[in-house]
Amino acid sequence: KFSRCRVPLQAIVYLKKYIHLVKSSLLYIKLSVIQRGTRK
């Protein structure tokens, strides 16, 4: 039988990596937008 409550460790690791990737990409976009704003 498969218990739904227990989340596999691999899934948690993937989720953390995905969240980190999203955060870093958002930060990069913010910085690029700020640089563009200061240039003009």
Full pLDDT tens readout for the chain, 40 residues:
556 667 788 999 999 999 999 999 999 999 999 888 876 6
Query: Which pLDDT score is estimated for 27?
Result: 97
CA distance 37 to 21: 24
Angle at the Cα of 16 (from 34 to 1), degrees rounded to 5?
Answer: 155
| Rounded CA separation 10/14 (Å) | 6
d(CA 19, CA 15): 6
Whole-prediction pTM value? 0.57
Which pLDDT belongs to residue 36? 87
Distance CA 32, CA 23 (A): 14
Can you tell me the distance from the alpha carbon of 30 to that of 36, in angstroms, rounded to the nearest whole number? 10
